[in-house]
Amino acid sequence: MSEERRAAETAADSAQKSEKNGRNGKKTQKYNLPRHKIWFTVAKPLVYLYLKMVANFKRQKNDLKKGQPYLMLCNHICELDPLMVIVSAPGVIHALASDHLFKHAIFGKFVRHVAEPIPIVRAQMDLKSIKEAMQAKKDGGSILIFPEANCCFSGKTSYIAPATAKLVKQFKMPVALFNVKGGYLTHPKWCHSWRKGRTTCELVRVIEADELAKMSVDETYDAIVDALTFNDIDYQREKMVYYKGHDLLEGAERMLYQCPKCGALSTMQSRGDSIGCTECGYTVTMNHYGFFEGEGVLLDSFDTWDDWQRQQAVKLVTESGEDAFLEEPLLVSDSDELYRAKRAEPNVLAGVGSFALYRDRLEFSTKNAFEADENGVSQNIGAKTYVWPFTEITKMSCVSKNKVQISVGEKDYYEIHSPHTYRSAYAYMIYFYCFKRHAQGKPLDYFGM
């Protein structure tokens, strides 16, 4: 059984135990409170106007029942997806959201007061989040989950763990499956600027509770994957919507990290509407329909470029010798910041230095490391190199625009931030999983979440 499936199975089992424990204990309501209902009633029209303004969002009518709590699942194309689902469905909706949302002292408290989302750590199988989601169910609220656990990188649906189906069945709720369309080119994960084109949120299918109870886990999984699988680039090829904006490729090297002409890694740099290789000079521009143009264009879209990058990663990992990249790193970046992190709490700086990926480990070297003493006070202890063998890293994820999030062992959880757009957190994640799975003798068909 894969690590990803085992972790999801554990979460599903934990959800079942949580529900049983909840039935035996006293109930303290936290979700679906009167203030949440007031805020959602007042805020939904305002959020809808905001989405129309920034994303030309068009709400579609659906037959979801008012007063009926749902377990809502949706593909994850951009940061606006939760808002699009919330304004498309009735009632109070508690979304599983990245714990980064709660690390801001003032904003985090405000969001909790308004909507009480459920924080989740992407680099861990966050069992506490599953228990809180089960509490939200008991309190009568709808729950919103993005099974991909991350915004997609290239416009098409990412990996969905098979055990997601078991988790869904444990909730024993009607399931509403949504598709957000047009969101990737509106605000891709890697960019800062907004582009106004056309977006919508479509209710693809509703699985009633009695129907869900009769479905097997495999049938449930197939239904989820069938409903959520979507390629926004193919959708754009069909619709050819004009996206109005500027600096269309600024920051794209966070995702397009390898040159398709010379194959060099970490040499792509963007500026405005263009991105080029500092090694061979290969350059393309992005038009207002989301496709690449230029002399000798080799890959004309984000999804085809990403497919090629993943193929190259598999090729390098399988064809390079077992001693390759043990002494010299494949990826390295200077001036990165290492933080110790805790779920939904502010990060604590551990040092500034170089971050490197080798064949079997990650390393972070700093001349000024900070560690807490026995009283919890942070002190400068001088030079230190953190070494994390792949065998000890349980999960890696790329969060926000360019942050690496790793879980080491049972408890340790770190984040590595970079001031450079050319240091691609996505590249680190791709090669981490390829190297680790190759060493384990597993298929190189999983590239992270």
Residue 126: exposed, middle, or buried by beta-carbon count in 10 A (0-12, 13-18, 19+)?
buried
Strand, helix or coil at 156? strand
Q: Give the model confidence (pLDDT) of 358-387 as tens digits.
A: 999 999 999 999 987 767 678 888 999 999
Q: Are residues 260 and 225 located together in one domain of the fold?
A: no
Q: Are residues 348 and 301 located together in one domain of the fold?
A: no
Q: Are residues 211 and 290 located together in one domain of the fold?
A: no
Query: Token match 């006293």: residue?
Result: 26
In this predicted structure, what is the pLDDT of residue 183? Answer: 96
Q: How far apart are the first and last CA of the chain?
A: 18
In this predicted structure, what is the pLDDT of residue 99? Answer: 74
Q: Are residues 313 and 178 located together in one domain of the fold?
A: no
Q: Are residues 339 and 200 located together in one domain of the fold?
A: no
Number of domains, the chain: 3
Q: Give the model confidence (pLDDT) of 181-216 as tens digits.
A: 999 999 999 998 899 999 999 999 999 999 999 999
**Global pTM exceeds 0.75:** yes
Q: Are residues 220 and 272 located together in one domain of the fold?
A: no
Q: Give the model confidence (pLDDT) of 183-192 as tens digits.
A: 999 999 999 8
Q: Are residues 23 and 115 located together in one domain of the fold?
A: yes
pLDDT band of 1, cuts 50, 70, 90: very low
What integer is the mean pLDDT of 424-433? 97
Q: Are residues 217 and 97 located together in one domain of the fold?
A: yes
Burial 278-307 (b: 16+ CB within 10 A, else e): eeeebbbbbeeebbbeeeeeebbbbbbbbe
Ordered DSSP codes for 20-33: HHHHHS-----SS-
Q: Are residues 17 and 160 located together in one domain of the fold?
A: yes
The CATH number of residue 392's host domain is 2.30.29.30
Residue 444: inside a domain: no
Range(s) of the domain holding residue 282 = 252-317
